[in-house]
Amino acid sequence: MLPARENFLIMLEARLKQQLQARKDAQAYRSRFIVDGPQGVELQCEGHKYLNFCSNDYLGLASHPAITRAFVEAANTYGVGSGAAHLVNGHSREHHALEEELAAFTGRERALLFSTGYMANMGVISALCAKGDLVLEDKLNHASLIDGALLSRADFQRFTHNDVEHAQQRLQKSSAELKLVVVDGIFSMDGDLAPLDKLSALCKKQHASLMVDDAHALACAGASGRGSCEIFNLTRDDVPILVGTLGKAFGTFGAFVAGSETLIESLIQFARTYVYTTALPPAVAAATRASLRLVQEENWRREKLTSNIRLFREQSAREGWALLPSESAIQPLILGDEAKALEVSKKLRERGIWVSAIRPPTVPKGSARLRITLSAAHEQTHILRLLEALRESL
C-alpha cells in the first residue's frame, strides 16, 4: 500500500490531467508564445515577424524612447527593486509624485498606486464591502472585479450586460445598508461602453456608490484622455471610485485607484493587496510619469486611434463581418465556434498577422471571437493589410 502522501500526489496528478484534457477537448486550451523584442506594431516571435493586432498598447507608448529613457535614468538612481511594501520602506518619491499627478489628471483628491490592476480591483472591493453589504456587477465585468466581490463575502449579484433597468430592480430589492455598483468603463472583450451616465443617476437615486474600472479607456478615450468619465462628462461626485491600469494605453505597468481623501486613506489601512505586497519599482513609476505627460501633450495619438477605428469599422461593414458595436480600440469579430476562431487566428499568423482567438471561459459559450485591437501606432497600410488577410482567412 502506498504511503498517504504518495497516494495523494497520484490522485492530484490524475485530476489535473483530466482537467487539462477536458479543456483541450473543449477547444479552450491556452498556450504561450515567446516574444523577442519590444511591444510595437511589429512583433518578433519565435523567429518570425508579425503585424501586431492584439496588444493593449493603444497609444503606442510601450516602447516610446522618452518613457524608456525615464525608466533607465530612474533605475540608475533608485536601482531595480523597490525593496519592500509601500508601508515599510518601499514608497519612493517617484511613487508619491506619480500618485499626485494621477489624482490631478483624474480630478480626484488622491490616488493610490497598486502593483497590478487585478490587485487594485480585489483590494478595493474587499476593503470597502463586507458580509451584509451588496456588490452589484455587470454580467461582463472583468474577472478581477468578480473575484473582489467574492473575496469581500458581501451579497454578490450581477445584472444583465448594460441593462440599467435590471440593475435598478436588483438595487430596489436589496435591504443592504451599503450598496456598491461595479462596472468596467469599456468592457475588455466586447469593447463597448458602460452607460455610466444612467448608472450614476441610478446610484444616486438608490443611495449606492459607483465604482468604475477604466482600464481600457483612461489615456486613450475622451477628448483629453480622461476615459469613460470624460465621455459622459461625469465628475468625482458621479463616480467616486475610479480604477485605472497603467499597462495598457499608458504603456508601462501597475494600476491606481483615485477618489476622496477618506477613500484613499481607508485603502492604505484596509486593502490587503496594497498593504501586503511589494511596491512597484520606482523606475516604473518614473516611466509612467513620462507617459502621463505624453498622454496629456500629444492629443494626436487619440485622434489617430479614432481615425484607425473608423477605417477598420467602415471597411468591415462593407464586408458584412459580425463586429460588435464598439467604438473603442477593441474590435471583436464574432465567429461563434471555438475551433473556427482558432483556425482563423492560425491562418492570419501564416499571413504575418497576429490576432488572438478568445474562447470560453473568457467569453460566453458560442461567442468565440478574434479580439482585434487597434493602436495609434498603426498606419493605414497596416490596417488595409489586416483587412486583406481577414478576407483570405474567413
Q: Which residues are catalytic?
A: 188, 216, 248
Chain Cα centroid distance, residue 218? 10
Whether cis (ω within 30° of 0) applies to the bond prior to 361 is yes
- Cα separation of 178 and 138, whole Å? 18
> How would you class 317 by CB atoms within 10 Å of its CB: exposed for 0-12, middle for 13-18, buried for 19 or more?
exposed
In the sheet with 42-45, reading across from the earlier edge strand, the strands are 35-36, 42-45, 48-52, 353-354
Single-letter residue type at 118: Y
| Residues in Cβ contact with 178 at an 8 Å cutoff, skipping those fewer than 6 apart | 128, 129, 132, 133, 134, 209
305, 220 in Cβ contact below 8 A?
yes
Residue found by looking up cell 452607460 in the block = 195
> Hey, what's the cell of 393?
482567412
Three-state SS at 52: strand
Nearest to 164 by CA among 138, 193, 133, 134: 138
Q: Tell me the backbone φ, ψ of residue 281, rounded to 5 degrees.
A: -55, 140
Which are the contacts of 280, defined by CB distance < 8 A and separation ≥ 6? 82, 95, 113, 115, 253, 254
Q: Which three cell numbers stand for residue 113?
A: 498606486
Quote the CA–CA distance of 394 and 334 in Å, as a whole number.
11
- Inter-axis angle of helices 261-270 and 117-128, nearest 10: 100
Please list the residues that pair with 114 across neighbouring strands: 255
User: How, if at all, do strands 134-138 and 179-184 pair?
Assistant: parallel
Secondary structure (3-state) at 123: helix
238/203 Cα distance (integer angstroms):
9
Task: Say if residues 157 and 173 touch (Cβ distance below 8 Å).
Answer: no
